[in-house]
Structure 1
Amino acid sequence: MKSTKLISQLKMIIPIIAGTAVYAFGLLYFIIPNQLMEGGITGVTILLNYAFQIPPSLSTLLLNIPLFILGWIVLGKKQMIYSGVGILSLTFFLWFFEILIRRGFISPFETQYDYILAALYAGVTLGAGLGIVFRFGGTTGGSDIVARICNRKFGWSMGQVILALDIMIIGASLFFIPKEKILYTFVTVFIASKVIDFIQEGAYAAKAFTIISDQAPEIADLITKEMDRGVTLIPAIGAYSKQAKYMVYCVISRQEIRRLSLIVKSIDPKAFVIISDVRDVHGEGFREE
């Protein structure tokens, strides 16, 4: 039983560690060499590096220690354990990559002309790292802890707290870096948010069909027979007609959209069909955990 629990925890912790490694690499390889910015506590560590040449690994650890202790007191041990893993592993990988760069084993991507390329790759790298960390229940500490505390104590929206902190920190960077670098930073933040969403929601996209028809059972039977897909019949009542009928619900891959549409039309050309995007599908016929 203990070994099963340990394996389960390792399945959460190892991806968090891998995600912080990717995130730390992106900061030191793309962001700092090109004087770009980031939000949250990471943004503060970058500003301290620009202003006083303080290593990001040191400032990350020192800034997160009091926040982690406060989070432990307010939020409890259970919510903070994976945050602690994220903070320590991020600190370690920042320190590790700083040594590799200082000793010449890694040459950072520094450009004087093509900042858009640096911003795009920084967004992809940071987004991939954070997306992996978030997907497995971890954080990199910082503003996320502050947002959780504000949400618990004052009922403030976590998203609004994080946005406010990001605006303040990126705004403060105007004293240290040119305005155009701030604009490139917004590109990085936008790309990173999209990559985070992509990883959080899942790379596998599918389509969900909701079909309202008087011939719903016949449509369901033909889908099962012709496409070998699971189908659910949902009881429904028409608001205008007050008549009881069934709705058909079925999830398919994108390549099967036309085939299912033709099946529906062959039985009931007047059927009302709703096609919705579905992400991260698990189960028979799709991805298995």
Structure 2
Amino acid sequence: MKKIASKKTLLKQACMLIMGCLCCSVATNWILIPNGLTAPGITGISMTVEHFTGINYSLVYYAITILILILTWFTLGKKDASNIVILSLLYPAVLSVLSYIDVQIVFEDKLIALAVFGVIYGAGIGLPYRIGFSYGGDDTLAKVLKKCVWKSAELKKVYYFEEVLIILFMATAFNLDALAYAFVGQLIYVNAMNYVVFNLGPKLYDMQIIGKNRMEEIEDFIIHKIHKSVTIYTDAMGGYSREPKVQMSCVCNSKEYIQLREFIKVGNYDCFIKVIPLIHVFGQNRDFHKLDDENIE
């Protein structure tokens, strides 16, 4: 069963990585470029280099990501490098292939094109982030700069300063209108990325259950049936009755919440239940985020 689950997990991860690369490549090759738009970040640097040298921007992107991978290995360590190595190789390859497929999605209004690009590109970045992978782009470069140069600065401030430098570099090749569109596109895709990473997933709830009798049965159901952890407070006391109570706290998704609620209802447990919707939960469970998930706003 574990091997089957492992294969399913690997297949799901592979699909999300490929889908992420396809979204980013489609957004860049079929929407951004045909509409005469530019993007900041590593893509913007690559397009600027192409403007001056004539080298295909996807090849320049490949070279830059490999350089960032090497820098990450020596500055941030093997763990961070391992998170970006797959996409550092896969995404430039997909980007290069799709650049030779002549598909152009042109909009009459550039703002609409920019919005569509931002949403698709942000989704493409967010999907791999959800499962712990990174493209090794400007966000990783910001981590390297924070580690080596601006150690006391917040990551998002380093990231924004880096983006300003990139836009100034792009100003040598593009006009102000193109740079303004690039900045707006950055705002759209970062918000789309953060939505996919932190909000597009199972809705999580903190179920706080307070009761007196048969609470161990509820504990057993939480641990062995819905496979979630539970925190137990045995020193709770009812303010009105002054009787000792047992309080349990369990973080679960919407499906598990319904299952637990029905179990308590059918079993006729005498409980007080408080359900609190949660924004972010960090931990080791598959439904939770990892502590090193970055939310660059």
- Would you say same fold, with TM above 0.5? yes
Q: Does residue 49 of structure 2 align to residue 44 of structure 1? A: no
Structure 2 counterpart of 1:100, which letter? I
Give the drift of 1:72.
2.5
- The partner residue of 2:105 within 87, 103, 109 is 109
Q: Where in structure 2 are there 5+ consecutive unaligned residues?
A: 288-297
Distance of aligned partners of 1:195 and 1:79 in 2 relative to their CA distance in 1, 3 Å threshold: closer
> Separation in 2 of the partners of 1:76 and 1:65?
15
Q: Which residue of 1 aligns with 2:84?
A: 83
Q: CA deviation at 1:230?
A: 7.4
Q: Deviations over 1:47-71 (max 9, x none)?
A: 4456776532022023234333322
Assess, with a 3 A threshold, how the Cα gap between structure 1 residues 218 and 21 changes in structure 2: closer, same or farther: same
Distance in 2, Cα, partners of 1:45 & 1:182: 14
Alignment match of 1:207 (pick from 205, 208, 212) = 205
Seen in structure 2, the aligned counterparts of structure 1 residues 248 and 93 have a Cα distance that, compared at 3 Å, is same
Give 1:273-288 correspondences, 5 Å limit. 273-277=274-278
SS of structure 2 residue aligned to 1:109 = coil
Counterpart of 2:258 (choices 236, 256, 264) is 256
One-letter amino acid matched to 1:163:
Y
The whole-number CA distance in structure 1 between the counterparts of 2:196 and 2:27 is 14
Q: Residue 20 of structure 1 aligns to which amino acid in structure 2?
A: C
Other-structure match for 1:134: 129
Match of 1:28 in 2: 29
Question: Residues 118 and 189 of structure 2 are in contact (CA less than 8 Å); yes or no, is this contact kept in structure 1?
Answer: yes
> Hey, what does 2:195 align to over in structure 1?
194
Give yes or no for contact 2:41–2:163 (8 Å, CA) kept in 1: yes
Mapping 1:102-181, distance limit 5 Å: 107-113=103-109, 115-116=111-112, 118-153=113-148, 154=151, 156-170=153-167, 176-178=175-177, 181=181
Residues 53 and 74 of structure 1: is their aligned pair in 2 closer, same or farther, counting only changes over 3 Å? same
Q: Distance in 2 between matches of 1:240 and 1:282?
A: 35
The answer on whether the counterparts of 2:122 and 2:191 sit within 8 Å (CA) in structure 1 is no
Q: Is the 8 A contact 1:38 1:189 kept in 2?
A: no
The root-mean-square deviation of aligned C-alpha atoms, in Å, is: 4.5
Which amino acid in 2 is paired with 1:143?
Answer: D
Report if aligned partners of 1:120, 1:191 keep a CA contact under 8 Å in 2.
Answer: no
User: Given residue 71 of structure 1, which amino acid in structure 2 is its aligned partner?
Assistant: T
Amino acid at match of 1:19: G
Higher helix share: 1
Cα deviation, residue 184, structure 1: 4.3
Partner of residue 291, structure 2: none
- Please give the TM-score of this superposition, normalised by the length of structure 1: 0.68
Answer whether contact 1:58 1:91 (CA < 8 A) is retained. yes
Q: 1:72, 1:222 → 2: CA distance?
A: 47
What SS does the corresponding residue of 2:100 show, helix, strand or coil? helix
Deviation (angstroms), 1:28:
1.3
Give the Å deviation of 1:188: 3.7
Shift of 1:275: 1.4
TM-score (norm. length: structure 2): 0.66
Aligned partners of 1:144, 1:165: CA distance in 2, in Å?
9
Tell me how far apart the structure 2 counterparts of residues 230 and 27 of structure 1 sit (CA, whole Å): 42
Counterpart of 1:145, as a letter, is T
Cα distance in 1 for residues equivalent to 2:129 and 2:41: 15
Given that 2:214 and 2:269 are in contact with CA atoms closer than 8 Å, whether structure 1 keeps it comes out as no
Measured at CA, do residues 224 and 187 of structure 1 come closer, stay the same or move farther in structure 2, by a change above 3 Å?
Answer: same
Against the structure 1 CA distance between its residues 244 and 113, is the aligned structure 2 distance closer, same or farther, given a 3 Å change threshold? same
Distance in 2 (CA, whole Å) between partners of 1:62 and 1:126 is: 21
Change in Cα spacing, 1:223 to 1:68, as seen in structure 2 (3 Å) is: closer
CA drift of 1:246 comes to: 1.8
Distance 2:162 2:59 in 1: 21
CA–CA separation in structure 1 for the residues paired with 2:231 and 2:73: 47
Q: For residues 72 and 43 of structure 1, what CA distance do their matches in structure 2 show?
A: 24
Structure 2 residue matching 1:79: 3-state secondary structure: helix
Letter of the 2:128 partner, please give it: V
